[in-house]
Amino acid sequence: MRLKLHFALTDGPGMTIPVNHNTWLVSAIYRWLALSSPRFADFIHNEGYRLNGKPYKLFCFSRLCVKNRNVRGDRLKSDSGTFSWFIASPKDDFINHLLTGLNKDPSMMIDDVRATAESVETSPLPELLPPVKFVCLSPITASVWDAESRRNPTRYLDPGEEFTAAVKLNLTRKFRLVHETQLEDDRLTMTFDQGYMRRIGRITKLIDFKGIKVRGILCPFVADGSSDLIRIGYECGFGEKNSIGFGMVEARS
The pTM assigned to this predicted structure is: 0.95
Peptide bond into 131 cis (omega under 30): yes
Looking at 123, 157, 185, the residue that finishes a domain is 123
Spatial CB neighbours of 70, under 8 Å, sequence gap ≥ 6: 76, 77, 79
Listed residues 123, 156, 172: the one ending a domain: 123
Cβ atoms of 203 and 218 within 8 Å: the answer is yes
Rounded Cα–Cα distance for residues 110 and 112 (Å): 6
Q: What is the pLDDT along the chain (253 residues), one digit of tens a residue?
A: 999 999 999 887 878 889 999 999 999 999 999 999 999 999 999 999 999 999 999 999 999 998 778 888 889 888 888 999 999 999 999 999 999 999 999 999 999 999 999 999 999 889 999 999 999 999 999 999 877 666 777 889 999 999 999 999 999 999 999 999 999 999 999 999 999 999 999 999 999 999 899 999 999 999 999 999 999 999 999 999 999 999 999 999 7
Same domain? 104 vs 136: no
CATH number for 187: 3.30.70.1900
* Whether residues 118 and 136 fall in one domain: no
Question: Among candidates 252, 251, 250, 248, which has minimal Cα distance to 87?
Answer: 248
**Residues 163 and 78 both lie in one domain:** no
- pLDDT for 78 equals 83
- pLDDT score for 249: 98
pLDDT of residue 192: 97
Q: Is the domain of 15 the same as that of 75?
A: yes
Residues of the domain holding 49 = 2-123
| Cα gap 64→84, rounded to integer Å | 6
Answer yes or no: do 49 and 78 share one domain: yes
Together in a domain, 112 and 167: no
- On whether both 164 and 67 belong to a single domain, the answer is no
